[in-house]
Each structure stands twice: as structure tokens, then as C-alpha cells.
Amino acid sequence: MSQLSKALHTRTVVSLSLVAIGMGIMLPATVQAQSAEDNYNKKCAVCHGKDGLGNTAKGKKVHVKDVHANMKDSEAEMIKAVTDGKGEDMDSYKTEFTPEQIKALVDYYRSLGK
């Protein structure tokens, strides 16, 4: 390999590495930029309603309790439900959200009951 070829190869590898690193840094920031309210509205409100009362067509169909009734459940129980799902009526979100995002979703949902 000539000196010019080596230099071009090295420059290409360094450039591609910097792009990959840059993308790796930007992707989590983009995912994390979604607030708990945004995530709730995208994934949970279809059943639970934006107000947490469960008065949506799908919420009524699967008999979603309103947020005040769900406040009897502990935070840990709610986190488990969001993480693992609840049978056929509620999907698991452990592959879509980090544990921190799931806790934030639960905190946001619980705030609707205050």
C-alpha cells in the first residue's frame, strides 16, 4: 500500500469513526429528549386518556380504571405493570423505554391523580 493510499485509508477510518461516535452521542439525547408527558400521550393516553380517567373508547373496552382508583397500587406495582404489561390488555414497554423512562411515566401518571 502506498503512502497516499495509507493516508487516505486512515483519514477515511477516522472520519467514519467520528461520524459513528457523533451518531451514538446524538441518538440517546434524542430518545431522552421525549418528556414523560410526551411518552404518556403517545403510548398510554389511548387507553388511560390524557387526563388519566380512562374515558376513551379503548379504555372503556378493556375496563381501564381511572387514575384515582389506580393510586391504590404502589409505585413498584405500577412500574411492574408498565414494564411487563398486563395480559392482553396492556403491552409491555420494557423494550421501548428505559427503566428511568418507565419510572417517569409512572410518576407522570400518578401526578394526574393529585
pLDDT at residue number 34: 87
Residue 34 CB coordination number (10 Å): 15
Instruction: Yes or no: say if 66 and 52 are a contact pair by the CB < 8 Å rule.
Output: yes
Question: Which residue would you say has higher pLDDT here, 8 or 57?
Answer: 57
Confidence at 4, pLDDT banded by 50, 70, 90: low
Rounded-to-integer distance, Cα 66 and Cα 99, Å:
24
Per-residue pLDDT at 65 exceeds 50: yes
pTM over 0.75: no
Task: Determine the Cα angle at 96 with ends 90 and 59, to 5°.
Answer: 25
pLDDT in tens, 23-49: 554 434 444 558 999 999 999 999 999
H or E element at residue 43: helix 36-43
Confidence at 99, pLDDT banded by 50, 70, 90: very high
pLDDT at residue number 25: 44
